[in-house]
A and B are shown apart, each in its own frame.
Chain A
């Protein structure tokens, strides 16, 4: 066990093989540390599984299991049933990428929710199959360049819209579903904690930028995810029993180009007339989200500015843990 940090469990600790600046590693680290080590984690196949459990080494410090790509929700349902049968109570948490959620894992996820399993399903959405080399998924926004939606003489990238998975999930009328992203830690924390306080199936959709697949500077993962929210492209929502119960209000709406221009996956759009039409299309989608969810006028405690406010001595974090034998940390000067 690695106990370097007295203020955090490091449920997902160092030595994992995620790319530099990985948004998913960051998201998973935050979420799992908010949940803590007294939980059972089920992971779908995908980047997170691959980079955390490489060749007989694991970065996890909690009970964790991976089976196959499509079945994480069903495995979790089995774990949860076992817990119930054995009279044990602890969070059962699925972690999956957008492939394991929107596409191949959707059926098991739907079944798990429909049957009311007491499972928190966390989707780290990086909007394509990154692990296999950036192929499009149903979560990939339209217009995006991936290796299976390449722009070309006849194409401006992906032809189809990003699947509205949160609406699909919410249509199950489950107790709690929410979207979040890494840029707003207090918001993410509030949502994880709220989810942990609710029994039954819960769904958390965390946008997790991928420097490799999105082709942005590795230092910009947080910035990019913040812009996804501020432009309205990725609205932060809470849905309870199918009804919208909370949104993150936008302190100001930013034009989608501010978001698109930081990312190589949209770069081709700016070269052609047809591409610019797709840019306007993405703007129209952002506008539609804003109107649909009332992102500019909603009466909420949070807005995108307040949620960012950094405070002296932190904004609260994880439970303090007791350190038995801290490892010597080399601080290379």
Chain B
């Protein structure tokens, strides 16, 4: 069924279709519409779940941790400060290998306080041990969420669906919602091998020492590596069943013969595709590559996709202050590991909700720079009427 829905509501509908038994969250802009909608669904009897208004995001993450450990499928969503307040628990969920699914409505971090989109929040959690899927559209958010539950359960890894705050969460787009029976068929009933149960008592979250701690991390890494295959397989399978695919780990656009490739994440890639079309029309051999899955980091697939490019630009909405763009650094590392010495240009942009317009992206393709810093440069500012200016 195709419907015009706000991104948050589309996600909430997808959550409902996945039949979570416990939903716990703490409101934060721009995540609020998702959980408001879920609360309403519970209130209306459309979603048979325990809806819990947590006392904080820290509590919300803990609630879903407990719920999943006790054998219930759960959902939470947050953004920005809330995600950081969850940090300790998110690492813990991953360490315990609990199949938790959440949505991060990406938003800038304070200070100064800012409610608009960038990726600083989820990028800050890149080391937490969560699968991170950055979606481009509301439809992808819906479909990725449905896949996320199976992915989490299969890999015993938590999954974070990252969708751009406001740009997706508050944007109305036509969305096709799968039917309940189709989702039920796709998602088997929730099962977790270490469910807290007196019939099989076990201790979860106990202590480890130097002689085995590392093995837990190694096992997590192996699970992440395995997840790459699973994600790709699930994308293909989903495509077969529902007719929609997002490329699994990466989604390329006009890479054939592309000498310049711009790599980015999330909703900005729609604009990037428009710019690619424009530049191709002008005869420039450009292409785009969307990094859909940042964790696990698909180094091999990335190298394959970028092996023939002569110029690589990474545009990202976050950076490590004092170092530079994290995605760019990882792309460089992947290429170098494969013996490819193509320079990777790092561009940081779209922070705190600043627009990355077609003009801006075109300027980036064309190498128009603002002040460079050590390992990259900032995207130029959009201008009111034509042209590119400084911010």
Inter-subunit contact B64/A78 (CB<8 Å): yes
Q: Known contacts A76-B66, A82-B70, A108-B55; is A53 also within 8 Å of B203 by CB?
A: yes
Inter-subunit contact A65/B59 (CB<8 Å): no
Inter-subunit contact A85/B72 (CB<8 Å): yes
Q: A63-B197, A71-B62, A90-B198 provided; 12 other pairs, C-beta below 8 A?
A: A43-B205, A53-B206, A62-B198, A63-B201, A68-B62, A77-B52, A77-B63, A78-B68, A78-B70, A79-B67, A81-B52, A115-B52
* Interface residue from B67, B92, B212 paired with A81 (Cβ < 8 Å): B67
Inter-subunit contact B71/A78 (CB<8 Å): no
Chain B residues with Cβ below 8 Å from A110 are 55
Chain B residues with Cβ below 8 Å from A43 are 205
Q: Known contacts A76-B66, A90-B198; is A55 also within 8 Å of B207 by CB?
A: yes
Interface hit among A32-40, A120-128, A147-155, A187-195:
A32-40
B46 contacts the other chain (CB 8 A): no
Chain B residues with Cβ below 8 Å from A76 are 66
Chain B residues with Cβ below 8 Å from A74 are 54-55, 58-60, 62-63, 66
A254 contacts the other chain (CB 8 A): no
B274 contacts the other chain (CB 8 A): no
Task: Please report which residues of chain B, range 32-69, place their CB below 8 angstroms from some CB of chain A when the two chains form the complex.
Answer: 48-50, 52-56, 58-69
Q: Tell me the nearest residue of chain A to B209, going by C-beta.
A: A55
Q: Contact residues of B with A, CB < 8 Å? A: 21-22, 24, 48-50, 52-56, 58-72, 74, 88-89, 92, 96, 196-198, 200-209, 211-212
Inter-subunit contact B58/A82 (CB<8 Å): no
A302 contacts the other chain (CB 8 A): no
How many chain-A residues does the 8 Å CB contact rule pick out? 46
Q: Tell me the nearest residue of chain A to B205, going by C-beta.
A: A66
A218 contacts the other chain (CB 8 A): no
**A79 CB to closest chain B CB, in angstroms?**
4
Q: Known contacts A71-B58, A108-B55; is A65 also within 8 Å of B198 by CB?
A: no
**A47 CB to closest chain B CB, in angstroms?**
12
Inter-subunit contact B202/A63 (CB<8 Å): yes
Scoring A56, A61, A74, A83 by chain B CB atoms within 10 A of each residue's CB, the highest score goes to A74
A111 contacts the other chain (CB 8 A): yes
**A29 CB to closest chain B CB, in angstroms?**
16
Inter-subunit contact A75/B66 (CB<8 Å): yes
Q: Known contacts A60-B201, A67-B89, A90-B198; is A81 also within 8 Å of B22 by CB?
A: yes
Inter-subunit contact B55/A111 (CB<8 Å): yes
Chain B residues with Cβ below 8 Å from A196 are none
A84 contacts the other chain (CB 8 A): yes
Chain A residues with Cβ below 8 Å from B201 are 37, 60-64
Q: Known contacts A71-B59, A78-B65; is A66 also within 8 Å of B204 by CB?
A: yes
Inter-subunit contact A63/B207 (CB<8 Å): no
Separation of A84 and B92 alpha carbons in the complex (Å): 24
Inter-subunit contact A84/B50 (CB<8 Å): yes
Chain B residues with Cβ below 8 Å from A60 are 201, 203
A283 contacts the other chain (CB 8 A): no
Inter-subunit contact A114/B55 (CB<8 Å): yes
A253 contacts the other chain (CB 8 A): no
**A41 CB to closest chain B CB, in angstroms?**
9
A70 contacts the other chain (CB 8 A): yes
Q: Tell me the nearest residue of chain A to B70, going by C-beta.
A: A82
Separation of A71 and B85 alpha carbons in the complex (Å): 12
Q: Known contacts A75-B62, A108-B58, A115-B53; is A55 also within 8 Å of B212 by CB?
A: yes
Q: Known contacts A78-B24, A82-B21; is A55 also within 8 Å of B208 by CB?
A: yes
Q: List 20 A-B contacts (CB under 8 A).
A: A40-B70, A40-B198, A49-B207, A56-B208, A65-B69, A65-B203, A65-B205, A67-B92, A71-B65, A74-B62, A74-B66, A77-B52, A79-B67, A79-B69, A80-B66, A81-B24, A81-B72, A82-B68, A85-B48, A107-B58
**A124 CB to closest chain B CB, in angstroms?**
18
* Interface residue from A37, A42, A111 paired with B66 (Cβ < 8 Å): A42
Q: Known contacts A55-B207, A68-B88, A115-B52; is A85 also within 8 Å of B198 by CB?
A: no
A50 contacts the other chain (CB 8 A): yes
Q: Mark A95-139, 1 if CB is under 8 A from B, else 0.
A: 000000000000110110011000000000000000000000000
Chain A residues with Cβ below 8 Å from B203 are 53, 58, 60, 64-65
Q: Tell me the nearest residue of chain B to A45, going by C-beta.
A: B205
Inter-subunit contact B62/A85 (CB<8 Å): no
Inter-subunit contact B22/A66 (CB<8 Å): no
Q: Tell me the nearest residue of chain B to A51, going by C-beta.
A: B207
Chain B residues with Cβ below 8 Å from A39 are 198
**A53 CB to closest chain B CB, in angstroms?**
3
**A23 CB to closest chain B CB, in angstroms?**
21
**A269 CB to closest chain B CB, in angstroms?**
36
A54 contacts the other chain (CB 8 A): yes
A315 contacts the other chain (CB 8 A): no
**B261 CB to closest chain A CB, in angstroms?**
42
**A204 CB to closest chain B CB, in angstroms?**
20
Inter-subunit contact A78/B63 (CB<8 Å): yes
Separation of A10 and B24 alpha carbons in the complex (Å): 34
A86 contacts the other chain (CB 8 A): yes
Task: Please report which residues of chain A, range 2-47, place their CB below 8 angstroms from some CB of chain B when the two chains form the complex.
Answer: 37-40, 42-43
Scoring B70, B202, B208, B211 by chain A CB atoms within 10 A of each residue's CB, the highest score goes to B70
Q: Known contacts A67-B89, A68-B89, A85-B22; is A78 also within 8 Å of B198 by CB?
A: no
**A137 CB to closest chain B CB, in angstroms?**
19
Separation of A297 and B198 alpha carbons in the complex (Å): 44
Inter-subunit contact A82/B62 (CB<8 Å): no
Separation of A83 and B21 alpha carbons in the complex (Å): 10
**A131 CB to closest chain B CB, in angstroms?**
12
Chain A residues with Cβ below 8 Å from B49 are 85
Inter-subunit contact A75/B63 (CB<8 Å): yes
Separation of A78 and B55 alpha carbons in the complex (Å): 13
Chain B residues with Cβ below 8 Å from A64 are 196, 201-204
For the complex of A and B, the 3 pairs showing the least CB-CB separation, nearest first, are A78-B66, A111-B55, A53-B206
Scoring A40, A53, A61, A79 by chain B CB atoms within 10 A of each residue's CB, the highest score goes to A79
Chain A residues with Cβ below 8 Å from B66 are 42, 65, 67, 74-82
Chain B residues with Cβ below 8 Å from A80 are 66, 70
